[in-house]
Amino acid sequence: MTSIVLIMPRAGSCLLAACFLAAPSWGQDAGRGETFTLGRIEIHTGDIYPEGRAESALRRLINATHWTTREAVVRREIWHRPGEVVDLRFAQELERNLRATGLFADVVVELVPSTDPNAPEGTRDLRVRTRDQLSLGLGAGASFVGDATSGNASVSESNFLGIGDRIRLSVSENDFGETVGQASYRDRYVAGTWTTADFVAGRTDQGDFFSVGFSRPFRFLEDRFSWDVRAGKTAYDQDYFFRNSTVAEVPVDLDNVQASASWRAGTRMNFWTRGLTTRYQNAQYSAARGVAAPQLRVPGDTESVFAGGTLSWANLSEFREVQYLDTIRFIQDVQVGTTAFLEAGAYFRDEASGGSAPAGDSAEGQSTQTQISTRLSHLIAPGETRFASASVAGSIRTDGGDTQAWRTDVELRAFDLTWHPHTLAFAVSYTQAEEDQGLPVQLTLGERSGLRGYPNRQLVGDQVLLLHLEDRIDLDASIRSFDFGAVIFGDAAWVGGQTFGPQSFEGPYTSAGVGLRIGSTPLLGRGVLRVDLSFPFDDVNGESFDPLFSATLGQVFTL
């Protein structure tokens, strides 16, 4: 038996829960079915609208402004070579991986009897057919979430030259009136390898920022090695809110460098991953501004280094292809099983003088601390139409037995697709966090963070409980490339803690509403446009609110 420890700290202490997991056997993969010898590999990539579906001038124009994905992009995702032994699960995993790239609206992967008359008995050819999704983005847009409006103008291409690279130029203004200009580029396959490179540079009202990263992620379940190296510099204002207004802000200049490497052992569905990781951060703080600045603890300039190891475990029972989970009928891949993660190491911290911490609360000087982070997730699928997931995560940082920072996150989600066209969806989440040396933690609640009907950041604190209940309805209605769904929903929240929030746990704050869901795999991929009209039922500090309208991309919650 192997013991994995979960850290779930609360109120300055930690609760240790030992979850005993049976150690897996590294013999044959128990779920492996009939095997074949891989023969020829056939790849057919298609445009956004294939022949026969590009009858309109608009669809022909969309095809004309799009680079069709090159065959080499698909071929790089295939890890087996002709002559090697494969099974049906290889084809299924490859199909999931290709969908996850975000390049394709449709993917079909098959192992078919070989067309080579000289192939040995039991040989199967691999046939891959893909149809692209729209990759060109050009124009301007706006997001309306509650009473906050943000705008942007951008030009982007997420399949540059058909080689899978992404380039984007954008200018945006958030609901604080802050402007951000940014340029980014992702090289999906550096020099034709499995290494990915990311470059980002830009400018905000606070200053310039950049980041660069190189990574070689795990490309398939039985992949054995992964690494990641990245560095960046940014300047921003850490804002603190009260009743949807900024009452304090702390200018921060942040430099960071991090590197990690991981090794995996086991079978396709049951494996361990061990790794090494290190992170360096240099944070420089300016004096707090705003009416509540005197109440805010600001540390002195701080350098920190974390060095430690990671251990994770996965026991997967199956993968499901599910439709209508998020209202629209596109395919979503659901991983059923259990995963666990542990990171532990030493955290070295050096804080200079000059902060504004109250007397006796300063953390100036050097210290070497212990930092531990854990996460446990479990997803079950009882029957063909029901899914439920649970996730518990925690982190703690201690110095000589004294807790300096901690955080706990708990999430439960359930979906029932039994009564099609209705999908009943439920979610509950709880978060609590505390930081005694760095900047104080403040959690916010409102329309943008999941409590529909209330202004953004109307509720603040350091502990939040949030519930959602939705009836997601497939309308079985399509116009051109768009599918439509509807939703009836209710939300409830409790909030407590300090940093300009209530001292005690207060609530519930409730709301309900109706909404429209719009999807299009050729144009939006697997994203869902969410349009909601929300009705808040409760006053906050004697203040009532009108119904709120919001339009944004992405569901409030999903699996």
pLDDT tens track for 63-81: 888 899 999 999 999 999 9
Secondary structure letter of residue 112 according to DSSP: E
Residue 468 phi, psi (nearest 5): -135, 140
* Residue 380 in tokens: 């079950």
CA distances from 135 to 98, 102, 160, 190, 520 (A): 15, 9, 8, 20, 13
Which amino acid, residue 401?
Answer: G
| pLDDT > 70? residue 141 | no
Residue 98 phi, psi (nearest 5): -65, -40
How many other β-carbons are positioned within 10 Å of the β-carbon of residue 405? 20
Burial class of residue 486 in the structure, from the number of CB atoms within 10 Å of its CB (0-12 exposed, 13-18 middle, 19+ buried): middle
**Model confidence band, residue 207 (pLDDT cutoffs 50, 70, 90):** confident
**Model confidence band, residue 19 (pLDDT cutoffs 50, 70, 90):** very low
> If you average pLDDT over residues 200-207, what whole number do you get?
88
> If you average pLDDT over residues 82-104, what whole number do you get?
94
CA distances from 188 to 67, 106, 214, 471, 477 (A): 16, 20, 10, 38, 36
Which amino acid, residue 43?
Answer: I
Look at residue 335 in the predicted model and tell me its pLDDT.
94
Which pTM was predicted? 0.86
> What secondary structure does DSSP assign to 130-189, as a single string?
EEE---EEEEEEEEEETTEEEEEEEEEEEEETTTTEEEEEEEEE-TTS-EEEEEEEEESS
CA–CA dist 406, 372 (Å, integer): 9
How many other β-carbons are positioned within 10 Å of the β-carbon of residue 359? 5
CA–CA dist 33, 365 (Å, integer): 60
* Residue 131 in tokens: 């149809």
Q: How many CA atoms lie within 13 A of 447 on its CB side?
A: 29
Q: Which of 31, 26, 24, 27 is nearest to 87 (CA)?
A: 31
| pLDDT > 70? residue 154 | yes
Q: How many CA atoms lie within 13 A of 102 on its CB side?
A: 11
Residue indicated by tokens 């609206």: 105
Q: Which of 348, 258, 352, 366 is nearest to 302 (CA)?
A: 352
> If you average pLDDT over residues 123-133, what whole number do you get?
95
| pLDDT > 90? residue 395 | yes
CA–CA dist 52, 523 (Å, integer): 18
| pLDDT > 70? residue 508 | yes
Residue 123 and residue 143 in contact, taking contact as beta carbons nearer than 8 Å: no
CA–CA dist 446, 358 (Å, integer): 31
Look at residue 98 in the predicted model and tell me its pLDDT.
96
Residue 57 phi, psi (nearest 5): -65, -35
Q: How many CA atoms lie within 13 A of 129 on its CB side?
A: 6
* Residue 70 in tokens: 């090159």
Look at residue 272 in the predicted model and tell me its pLDDT.
97
As its CATH architecture, domain 35-132 has: Roll (3.10)
How many other β-carbons are positioned within 10 Å of the β-carbon of residue 53? 14
Look at residue 242 in the predicted model and tell me its pLDDT.
84
| pLDDT > 70? residue 516 | yes
What average pLDDT does the chain have? 87
